[in-house]
Structure 1
Amino acid sequence: MKGNTKMKDMNSAETASSPAPDTREVSSLEAATKSSTATEETIHLIVFRLGSEEYGIKIEQVKEVTVTPNVTRMPRTPDFIKGVANIRGDIIAIMNLEERFGITPAPLPLDRNPAVTYTLVIEAREYSIGVIVREVPQSLNLAMTKIDKAPSFLQDINIHENYIEGIAKVNNRLIIVLDMYKILTQDEIKELKG
């Protein structure tokens, strides 16, 4: 009996002598872990090529991606507006961003059909527009920390709003992130609506 009591006393003494974890340390570690997870905000981009460079648009600005239907040329429209097309019952203007930005198209691989293009349908509050791209767009998730703000001198002087949101760095790739709602001037939007 006394032996058992002695064992109990030793166990309780060992327990008492081993330091209890400091609850402040544990809670601050948990808070740091939670805050680092919470601050790691991600962005989902639709990535495509214009010329030999890569561009991206936030997925929430893209309503759909489809093979470009027949485009009907419209008179008295800017050169970069290729015409209008019927996409799922909606007649929308089709824009060529390479022409809009003055980018020389890159040569297509021999196995690619130049007649097949893809259209990203952008739906803004005031208008809908289709953007032609020559290759199948890709989907990409990345951390917001991977996007640097674009220097102001990179902006188009003809457009008052900055449509380049930033430049994403992904491994050895640079992706120019566009805000499609700011690509057109107010005058161009009025022309499209008219």
Structure 2
Amino acid sequence: MAKAMQVIVFKLGNEKYGVEISQVREIIRPAQITRIPNTPDFIEGVINLRGQITTIINLRKRFGLENKPIDNDTRIIVVEHNNSVIGMMVDSVSEVKYLSEREVESLPPIVTSRNESSFLKGVGKLPDGLMVLIDLNKVLREEEISSVAHTSA
């Protein structure tokens, strides 16, 4: 797991998270979100992103954190996942950071044994603390992606 990488650093509450920059398509401000009925709670809805219907997930809800109203710092990190474009709503995006191999560590086994932490990839060491690295391939399970894609198509 310990490989060098560039990450987009974002916050949920007071915690820092990172996602590999190679998985990020763009970062946008929230637009008008249309809710889709009968979808998991963490799915905010869909937006029209330059003519493409894009599913928006709320990472706060996905990670089991308390919801927070959208404000001027809220951003949507747009990623491509299995030929689908998905937006992840976060509290703020702060920087792009390079992490060397020695600054990246796997999660302790006690953390990875919990089912809800399966979308976590590791920990990045920063000068001012730690950052949790997320695995976008696991943030949405395949059945969740396909159910939303079919609903919004």
TM-score (norm 2): 0.86
1:45 aligns with 2:7: yes
1:171 to 107, 110, 127: 127
1:102 aligns with 2:64: yes
DSSP-derived class of the 2:33 partner: coil
Mapped partners of 2:62, 2:103: distance in 1: 27
Shift of the alpha carbon at 1:158?
5.0
Runs of 5+ in structure 1 lacking a partner? 1-40
DSSP-derived class of the 1:136 partner: strand
1:129 aligns with 2:91: no
1:91 aligns with 2:53: yes
The RMSD of aligned alpha carbons is 2.2
Aligned residues: percent identity?
33
> Contact 1:68–1:116 at 8 Å: present in 2 too?
no
Distance verdict in 2 for CA 1:142–1:90, change over 3 Å: same
Distance verdict in 2 for CA 1:158–1:104, change over 3 Å: closer
Mapped partners of 1:83, 1:60: distance in 2: 25
> Contact 1:51–1:105 at 8 Å: present in 2 too?
no
> Contact 1:47–1:57 at 8 Å: present in 2 too?
yes
- The one of the two structures with greater contact order (alpha-carbon pairs below 8 A, sep at least 6) is 2
Q: 1:24-46, CA deviations, whole angstroms, 9 ceiling, x for partnerless residues? A: xxxxxxxxxxxxxxxxx631000
Shift of the alpha carbon at 1:95?
0.5
Give the aligned partner of residue 25 of structure 2.
Answer: 63
Mapped partners of 2:96, 2:48: distance in 1: 25
DSSP-derived class of the 1:190 partner: helix
Runs of 5+ in structure 2 lacking a partner? none
Q: 1:154-193, CA deviations, whole angstroms, 9 ceiling, x for partnerless residues? A: 234157xx32111011123100001111111222122122
Return the structure number with greater strand share.
2
**Number of residue-to-residue matches in the alignment:** 147
Mapped partners of 2:57, 2:74: distance in 1: 12
TM-score (norm 1): 0.69
Larger Rg: 1
Q: 1:42-99, CA deviations, whole angstroms, 9 ceiling, x for partnerless residues? A: 3100000112110000001111001111101111111100010011221111000110
Return the structure number with greater helix share.
1
Q: 1:124-168, CA deviations, whole angstroms, 9 ceiling, x for partnerless residues? A: 124221001122341111202101101233234157xx3211101
